[in-house]
Structure formats: C-alpha cells, structure tokens
Amino acid sequence: YSGLKLSSTKIKSNETIKVSFQLKNTGKVAGEEVAQLYLKDKFGSVVRPVLELRDFQKVKLNAGETKTIEFTIDKEKLSFYNNKLEWVAEPGDLEVMIGTSSADIKLRSDFELAD
C-alpha cells in the first residue's frame, strides 16, 4: 500500500472525492488482497464508530504486480442517521483510511465536507 491521493481535500455534499493508491504484491506467487476504505468523522453531532467500513475491493495480483486502486467517496458514504433519525451528511473534518482490516490501517489522509 503506497501513494495515497485524494482528488480534493474539500468538497460539498453534492460532490465526490476520488481516492487512489498503489497496491503491490511483493511475494513470489499470485495472490488476492481485500483493500478496505474506512471513514472517521472527527467531530460528529452523534457518537459514531471510530472506524466505519464504507467500501472495499478484492484485487487479484500476480507476483510483483502493482495496480492502482480507486474508490469514490460520495454523499451516501458520508451519511448516517442523526439524533432525529434523519439520513444526513454533516459538514466537518473527516479522515479516510485504507488498509487490510480495521486493525491494519496502511494509509491515512484528511478532507473536509463543507456546507
């Protein structure tokens, strides 16, 4: 896991962010990896999980092969039920994390959801 890039560090709720990174098989045989995207709202109006799995991709890689993996973060992936049970995406600072599991985060970056 290397080379994390975000298409933007500030978006509005009707916009999207492209998240991309390189995934390399450093082994001597072909294999598969499940790359996972987690989001964390730094200051939400309701208590939410520290890490929320929002997307994943199963990737096949030959020995020594590198692939660029891309995820899209949109309003749906940023939304949650607030204290009025409304499905909303609240403005604020968020952290995007990429890893093999919630216990093995490899890449991190921040972005802002604006009004």
pLDDT one-digit tens code per residue, 40-94: 998 888 888 889 999 999 999 999 999 999 999 999 999 999 999 999 999 999 9
Per-residue confidence (pLDDT) for residue 115, from 0 to 100: 82
Q: Is the pLDDT of residue 104 over 90?
A: yes
Contact 96, 111 (CB under 8 A): yes
User: What CATH number is associated with residue 64?
Assistant: 2.60.40.10
Distance CA 60, CA 54 (A): 20
Provide the sign of the torsion angle of the four alpha carbons 115, 7, 15, 81, taken in this order.
Answer: negative
3-state secondary structure of 115: coil
Q: Whole domain around residue 63: which residue ranges?
A: 2-114
Considering its fold, how many domains does the chain have in total? 1
| pLDDT tens track for 3-52 | 999 999 999 989 999 999 999 999 999 999 999 999 999 888 888 888 99
Distance CA 76, CA 63 (A): 36
Report if pTM > 0.85.
yes
